[in-house]
Structure formats: C-alpha cells, structure tokens
Amino acid sequence: MMLPTHVLVGMSLATPVALAVPGVAPAVIAGAVVGSIAPDLDVVAHHRRTLHFPTGYAVAAIPATGVAVVSPTSTLVGIAAGVVAAAVHCRMDVYGGSHELRPWERNTDHAVYDHVRGDWQPAKRWIRYDGSGSDLLVSLVAAIPPALLLSGSARTVVIGALAIALLYTAFRRRIPDLVDAMSDRIGHGS
C-alpha cells in the first residue's frame, strides 16, 4: 500500500495508546510515524526487501513492547511503537499488490521479501495495488481516529498524509510512463 496509508494506519493504532497514557503521547505517535515510513526507505535500494523484515519486526515487537510496558519512558515507548508500526507495514504490504512498476498487470506475485524463509511472500491483493481507490479508502478510514482524537502537529501530519494520498492516487497510473520516459532519456545520454 502507499506510504500515506502506512502512516495513517500506524497513527490510528497508536491513537488509543496516546489517549490512555498522555505522558508518552508524542513519543508513541512519533514512533508510529517513523516506524511506518522506515521500511519504504529501501525504495532507493532493493525495494520491499532491504528494509522490509516481515518476520523480524514482528518478533522484535514482542520484547520491545514488553520492555516499554515495564518501563514506559518516552524513548522505550517510541521504539516499541516504531517496531510495531514497521511490523504492521510489512503485513499490510502482503495484503496489497505485487512489487512491480505496474502492479495491476500482475506479472509477479512478489509482495515482501521474507529474510527468514529466504523467499518472497506472495501478494494477497486485498488492496489491488498501491494508489488504487481501495488503498485511498483505507487511508481515509484510518485517518478518522487520529484526525478526531489527536491535535496539534499530529493532526497536521494526518492532513499532510491525506493530501499526499489523494495526489498519489490521482497520478499513480501515470508514474510508470514517467519512469520509462526518464530511463529512456538517461539511456540516450541526454
């Protein structure tokens, strides 16, 4: 799914914790946002492989959450929120479309690389592809809890993520042609 959807789902899951423990609210929200974004930084390396650890994040989330519950400092709560959000991110990518420039063409089933199994997890395509209408719908629904229940900079992040989600969805189908045109130009040395 697209990055804004990851961010909004992460924030939505962090919202009840932020409300229950207001003292660590900024840490849990910031941790969730960073953890939701971090896996997709591998778009400049081997996307959906280099920083995607579908098993690793899920396993790490258990001790990270346990430590944060026992010792709820902002740092430990932020780290736990980040690891949980990264685990959720990788799970969401499996429910989305395949890892390819035009995922609607379904030329591959690869969703996320599982470093433990040494193989790609297959795309379930519940959400057809990143930037599809159903992906935007998930973004909109996930935005409701943080938009209504949080305030300040958290609400600004929600509005920013929704704006990016709308733009990305509007132009998603044109991105492959732009990428092809750019690589053609680079290929011709201009």
Query: Which range, of 64-72, 85-93, 128-136, 175-183, touches Zn ion by CB under 5 A?
Result: 85-93
Q: Of these, 10, 31, 40, 53, which contacts Zn ion (CB under 5 A)?
A: 40
Which residue's CB is nearer to Zn ion, number 11 or number 150?
11
| Bridge partner residues of 112 (DSSP) | 121
CB closer to Zn ion, 46 vs 117: 46
Q: How far is the CB of 2 from Zn ion (least distance, A)?
A: 9
Residue 89 CB, shortest distance to Zn ion, in Å, is 6
Structure tokens at 173: 């189908």
Smallest separation (angstroms) from Zn ion to the CB of 93: 4
Number of residues that bind Zn ion (CB under 5 A): 3
What's the closest the beta carbon of residue 23 comes to Zn ion, in angstroms? 31
Residue 120 and residue 102: Cα distance in Å, rounded?
Answer: 18
Q: Burial of 185 by CB count in 10 Å (0-12 exposed, 13-18 middle, 19+ buried)?
A: exposed
Which region among 33-41, 96-104, 119-127, 155-163 touches Zn ion (by CB under 5 A)? 33-41
Of 93 and 114, which CB lies nearer to Zn ion in the complex structure? 93
Maximum pairwise Cα distance, the chain: 59
Query: Residue 19 or residue 179: which is nearer to Zn ion going by CB?
Result: 179
**E-assigned strand segments in 2-156:** 110-114, 119-122
Cβ closest to Zn ion, residue 125 vs residue 150? 125
Is 135 a binding residue for Zn ion by CB under 5 A? The answer is no
- In the list 4, 79, 86, 93, the residue contacting Zn ion (rule: CB under 5 A) is 93
Nearer to Zn ion, 95 or 104 (CB): 95
Q: How far separated are the first and last CA of the chain, in Å rounded?
A: 33
Q: Rounded distance, CA 110 to CA 12, Å? A: 27
Contact of 10 with 88, CB cutoff 8 Å: yes
Angstrom CA distances, 83 to 31, 117, 142, 147, stand at: 8, 20, 19, 23
Residues that bind Zn ion (CB under 5 A): 39-40, 93
